[in-house]
A = this chain, B = another copy of it.
Amino acid sequence: MPDFERNEKELSFGRRLARLGAAWRRQVDNDLRDYGLTEATWRPVLYLGLLPPPVRQTDLVRALEIEAPSVGRLLDVLERRGLVFRSPDRADKRSKLVSLTDKGEHIARQVRHAVEAVSSRLLDGISTPELQACYSVFERIEANLYDRTGASAEVAGGPS
């Protein structure tokens, strides 16, 4: 391994995190490509199947941890493809309720399976204590992030 690379590896735990996270997502994407779900579009579908209804767009924004305009655009796409539909919220005229269509429900199940399959494949051979060690490091990093910025949104959701 060239020097600069070893150097980088020492420097950047963060780079490693991002790279692995991206690779992970790519795995799920791969499994779902057949359903026409590209990149990020499967996540709204997944969460629509997990969140307790009624689900407003804002609820999705919080669950997906992406910004409202991004969610809106994804829903436009999913609506056009007939996986979700939006209906007015009687209780609050500003908001819209989002639901899965039958087709959407069906696909949500596929998504769940794909996510679970990838997860168990990638974590194969890693013991629970090892995983927990990772989690505790992650939590420490999140705490360190939180420390200086003082912003609860730095890692969405903030410290648990």
- Which residues on the B side are within 8 Å of A141 (C-beta)? 20, 24, 122-123, 126
With A21-B14, A133-B133, A133-B134 in contact, do A144 and B121 touch (Cβ < 8 Å)? yes
Residues of B within 8 Å of A28, CB to CB, are 14
Q: A interface, how many residues as a size bin?
A: 35 or more
Chain B, Cβ-Cβ closest to A136? B130
> Given the known A-B contacts A14-B25, A15-B21, are A50 and B7 also in contact in the complex, defined by CB atoms under 8 Å?
yes
Number of copies: 2
Q: How far is the CB of A92 from chain B (nearest CB, A)?
A: 20
By beta carbon, the residue of chain B nearest A142 is: B20
Assess the B118–A14 pair: CB atoms within 8 A: yes
Distance of A23 Cα from B1 Cα, bound (Å): 28
Chain B residues in 8 Å Cβ range of A30: 149
* CB contact list, A138-160 vs B, under 8 A: 138, 140-142, 144-145, 148-149, 154-156, 160
